[in-house]
Structure 1
Amino acid sequence: MPTPPVTELSSRARDIFRLVVEGYLESGQPVGSKTLSGDAGLNLSPASIRSVLAELEALGLLAAPHTSAGRMPTTSGLRLFVDGMMQVAEPTRQERRAIEHRLAAPGPIEAALEATSALLSDISGAAGMVMVPRREPRLVQLSLVPLSATRALAVLVGEDGGIENRVIDLAHHTSPSALEQASNYVTARLAGRTLGEAAAAMRAELAAGKTQLDDVSRDLVERGLAVWSEDAARRPVLIVRGAANLLDETALGDIERVRQLLDDLENKQTVAELLDSARDADATRIFIGSENRLFALSGSSVIASPYRDRQGRVVGVLGVIGPTRLNYARVVPMVDFTARSLGKRIG
């Protein structure tokens, strides 16, 4: 049955429906007619309330769990509430400052992504998720600095000023001149390229023997490329923090659903694909319960928003995942503001 537009509900039905949804989102429990009759604003008898509840259930907006006489919103009901009735609570000035301060801490971008995921978890009381930006920085320089007779520090500098370091092992006969030759060779091929682009060009040259490198310098370049490529491959596509928040007191009665959700989160690549579907959204997207295939079994909701770099290009998606009783009115604007704040941190 198609979900009716909110304008087709009577004012009495809208009031009761709103109270049921808000009560469920606050407590995680079905809301009964006895609880509703205590609301001074309704001024209706329990019998009249039960009649309206039955109508809303027939429309597919509410459901009555077999263990309770109360009602709770269905996925369709939550969608109607979120799209047509919810009044968002914009972050306060203090909350905005706290978010900006937390994300502005100095350090590598990975640290900011970790902080963002933890922040989203704190905000929502659920699990926070951040997709790692896909794009690779354009690089300008590689320096190999000797640390000891058997180790060197590889320093990679990006056009955006970012610096990354890796320690590589050296053969005992590696000379400072070999380190310098390898550094100069790689740097000459990095200018304006991503690491992947530069690596492909260098591997082609090495394979064709079109270099003037001696054997030691050639070995340094090949092993250096292997270190950087292996590191890139190990970087997570998704950072998840706060999964333990999903195991609250209300989860004990539905432990199988929570177990399914935690299993879903283990499959980060699939979760990342869901988040990626929000990449082209103009605003924060909300996936509720069975609306998305991935979380149909666990009955969970995802609130996701793309984040952009300073040039306005979408570089990733962040969001929260939790039970369908998320506080949408508070979490949606928080996710949106966090996405904009993270964008200021991205070069």
Structure 2
Amino acid sequence: MATPPISELNDRTRTIFKVVVESYLESGAPVGSRTLSKIGGLNLSPASIRNVMQDLEEAGLLASPHTSAGRLPTESGLRLFVDGMMQAAAPTAEERRAIESQIAGSGPIENALAAATAALSGLSACAGVVMVPKREAVLKQFSFARLSAGQALAIMVGADGSVENRLVEISSAVSDSALVEAGNYISARLSGLTLSEALLRLDAEIRGQKAALDQASADLVRNGLAMWSLDANERPVLIVRGQSNLLDETAAADLDRVRQLLDELENKEEIARLIDSAREAQATRIFIGSENNLFSLSGSSVIAAPYRDAGGQIVGVVGVIGPTRLNYARIVPMVDFTAQALSRLMK
């Protein structure tokens, strides 16, 4: 059955539907007609309210989990509410400060993304997720230190202050002076370039015989840079924080769903694909329950928003994952604000 548009609901039906959804999102419990009749402003008898709720159930907007347990919104009902009736509440000054303070003092971009995700997770009581931009490190300094006859430690310092180490296999014929020469060459000639740019520069200088390197040092530089470039392509593209928030006081009543959701959160590749699809929307996107295949079994919702670099290009997505019973009016603007804060960080 097709879900009716909000314009087809009369005022009384729309009011009752809105109250049912808001009451359910607040309490997590089905809402009965007697409860609704006690809410000021409706001025309707329980019998009249039951008739309206029956109509809403037949329209596919409400469902009754048990014979006399009241009703709760279906996924279609939640979608209608979110798209046509929800009144979003901007993040409070305290919430904005909590997000911005975590981002501001976090050092390298990956740390800032993890901190922003953790802050968003804590404020929303959901699991927080963020897509990490696929970007290459910019070289600042590089050095090699021999560990054994056939192995050296490559040490790269990035322009953002990050320091990374990798083991490099070397020929036993490579001298200590060649290691020093290779590190000095990278630091002096290739500083300020990305890894791929550095490799192109190196090859151009070798072809033009401008590289003041012997063959052993040139091979060492090329192999070290190539190893790091390959490693960058295999870095994790998704950070997940706050899974423990899903185990709140309401989880005991729905342990099977929570276990299913926690299992689904282990599938990082599929989550990354789902979150990345929010790029297409250019703005905050909401997936409710079975609207996405990944979380259809647990009946969970995803709220995600893209963030941009200095050129205005979308480089990643940040969001939350939690039960369909979310405070959408509060969390949607919070996710949007976090995306805006990350966009400012990227400039």
With 238-247 and 188-197 compared, the bigger mean Cα shift is at: 188-197
Q: Which amino acid aligns with 1:143?
A: F
Equivalence for 1:127: 127
Equivalent position amino acid for 2:160 in 1: G
Deviations 1:69-100 (A, max 9, x none): 21110111001000100000011233323322
Q: CA RMSD in A?
A: 3.1
Once the two structures are superposed, the pairs formed by residues 112-191 of structure 1 within 5 Å of their partners are: 112-137=112-137, 139-144=138-143, 154-157=155-158, 161-168=159-166, 177-186=177-186, 190=190
Q: 8 Å contact 2:199–2:226 — kept in the other structure?
A: no
- Code of the residue aligned with 1:164 in structure 2: it is S
Matched with 1:326 is: 326
Asked whether the equivalents of residues 305 and 335 of structure 2 are also in contact (C-alpha less than 8 Å), the reply is: yes
TM-superposed CA distance for 1:242, in Å, is 0.8
Aligned counterparts of 2:3 and 2:120: Cα–Cα separation in 1: 31
Between stretches 94-103 and 80-89, larger displacement belongs to 94-103
The reply on whether 1:314 has 2:314 as its aligned counterpart is yes
Q: Structure 1: how far apart are the matches of 2:115 and 2:68?
A: 40
Match of residue 294 from structure 2: 294
My pick for the range that moved more, 226-235 or 111-120, is 226-235
Is the Cα contact below 8 Å between 1:30 and 1:68 reproduced in 2?
no
What's the CA shift for 1:176?
A: 5.9
Preserved contact between residue 136 and residue 232 of structure 2 (Cα < 8 Å): no
CA contact under 8 A between 2:31 and 2:70: conserved in structure 1? Answer: yes
State the Cα distance separating 1:197 from its structure 2 match. 5.4
**Do the aligned residues in 1 keep the contact of 2:307 with 2:342 (CA within 8 Å)?**
yes
Aligned counterpart, 2:50: 50
Change (3 A) 1:212 1:266: same
The equivalent of 1:341 in structure 2 is 341
The structural deviation recorded for 1:227 is 5.4
Tell me which amino acid in the other structure corresponds to 1:217: S
Instruction: Give the secondary-structure state (helix, strand or coil) at the position aligned to 1:280.
Output: helix
The aligned length equals: 341
Seen in structure 2, the aligned counterparts of structure 1 residues 214 and 99 have a Cα distance that, compared at 3 Å, is same
**How many Å separate the matches in 2 of 1:24 and 1:216?**
70
1:121-152 Cα shifts (integer Å, max 9, x gaps): 11211100001112325x35442166999976
Relative to structure 1, the CA distance from residue 242 to residue 324 in structure 2 (aligned partners, 3 Å threshold; closer, same or farther) is: same
Listed one character per residue, the Cα deviations across residues 221-259 of structure 1 (whole Å, up to 9, x for unaligned) are 366346524643553211111111112232223222222
- The answer to whether the aligner puts 1:250 opposite 2:250 as a matched pair is yes
Residue 272 of structure 2 corresponds to which residue in structure 1? 272
Shift of 1:214: 4.4
Q: Which runs of 5+ in 2 are unaligned?
A: none
2:119 counterpart SS class: helix
For residues 49-128 of structure 1, what are the structure 2 equivalents within 5 Å?
49-66=49-66, 69-128=69-128
Contact in 1 for aligned 2:186/2:221 (Cα 8 Å): yes
Q: Report the alpha carbon displacement of residue 186 of structure 1 after superposing the two structures with TM.
A: 4.1
Distance 2:263 2:199 in 1: 36
Q: Is 89-98 or 110-119 further displaced after alignment?
A: 89-98
Moved more, 228-237 or 139-148: 139-148
Q: Separation in 1 of the partners of 2:51 and 2:204?
A: 75
C-alpha distance in structure 1 between counterparts of 2:314 and 2:90, whole Å:
23
Relative to structure 1, the CA distance from residue 242 to residue 106 in structure 2 (aligned partners, 3 Å threshold; closer, same or farther) is closer
**Contact 2:91–2:333 (8 Å) recurs in 1:** yes
- 3-state SS, counterpart of residue 250 of structure 2: helix
Alpha-carbon distance in structure 1 between the residues aligned to 2:193 and 2:265: 34
Which structure 1 residue ranges, 5 or more long, are not aligned?
Answer: none
